[in-house]
Amino acid sequence: MTKRELINKAKEAKAFAHVPYSGFSVGAALLTKSGKVYTGCNIENSSFGATICAERIALFKAISEGVTEFESMAVVSSANDVTYPCGICRQVLSDHMYDGKLYFENKDGEIIDSSVKEVLPFKFNNEIPNKK
């Protein structure tokens, strides 16, 4: 799958965003190493802490079906410019696809390549030193 095709899948997913509070729609498309694509959109809730981002929905859909090897993710938003994942999503992505690629589209329609490592170079690691 090309980067453009993955961006287009993210745009399709963005159309399903439920954003009655912010009006800020996000779509994500996750490409697995086997070639399957999982999509997600952000879904807001009146209890704002219960809101979930598009990136996590796509990733969790895949994981809930037993998929654990990921290649790349495209993320688009209603800002029609590069929208990087939030801090929570960066950590979740780093836990599951730290070597993965990220693709964004800027306001000119150009695809911007990045990686999970670039957006979160110092990921949290819960390994306990000297654990017995």
Q: At what angle do helices 87-97 and 54-64 cross, to 10 degrees?
A: 30
Residue 4 tokens read as 């453009």
Cα-based angle 86, 120, 129 (whole degrees, multiple of 5)? 120
Annotation marks residue 110 as catalytic: no
Q: What is the DSSP string of 48-91?
A: GGG-B-HHHHHHHHHHHTT---EEEEEEEETTSS--PPPHHHHH
Whether 62 contacts 100, CB under 8 Å = no
CA 67 to mean position of chain CA atoms: 15
Continuous segment of H or E residues that includes residue 14? helix 3-14
Q: Which of 55, 69, 71, 127 is catalytic?
A: 55
Catalytic residue list: 55
